Amino acid sequence: MAADNRTDRRVETHDDIMFSQRSVHPFRYYGAVTLNHSADGMCVESRYPVQPGDHLCLRLIGHHLQSFTSLDELTCIAEVKWCETVGTPEKPAFRIGLRYHGGMVPPLFKPDE
């Protein structure tokens, strides 16, 4: 289990997201579900492994798509800080720790103040 280095409050979540690796073209999106988020990042679980240092484009999907008119409100960039195996060889699963990267992080990615 990765060390808990966040000082900000975490909020448990269970939102569907998709992510792509920004350095791979053409973009290929993978599914994940959020486990929790804080002001500076989030933890997700996915069937697809990533490497620490990867920069991912995250996009909230599901019920969020019905209430927003701009994909910018549902999208942000994050750096992979850690990725650990939590599944089995028959049913792979990975927990991924992400830190938001870059300028504007949409409010949906942060806990309510």
C-alpha–C-alpha distance, residues 25 and 57, integer Å = 13
Residue type, 35: L
> pLDDT by residue (tens digit) across 5-40?
556 678 888 888 999 987 666 668 899 999 998 889
Nearest to 58 by CA among 36, 74, 41, 37: 74
Question: What pLDDT score does 86 carry?
Answer: 94
C-alpha–C-alpha distance, residues 59 and 65, integer Å = 10
Asked whether the beta carbons of 25 and 54 are under 8 A apart, the reply is no
Question: What pLDDT score does 24 carry?
Answer: 61
C-alpha–C-alpha distance, residues 85 and 74, integer Å = 27
- % residues pLDDT > 90 (the chain): 41
- The domain spans of the chain are 11-103
Pairing between β-strand 16-21 and β-strand 30-37 as defined by DSSP bridges: antiparallel
Mean pLDDT score, 71-92: 89
Given a cut of 90, is residue 3 above it in pLDDT?
A: no
pLDDT band at 63 (very low <50, low <70, confident <90, very high): low
Look up the pTM and report it.
Answer: 0.81
Architecture of domain 11-103: Beta Barrel (2.40)
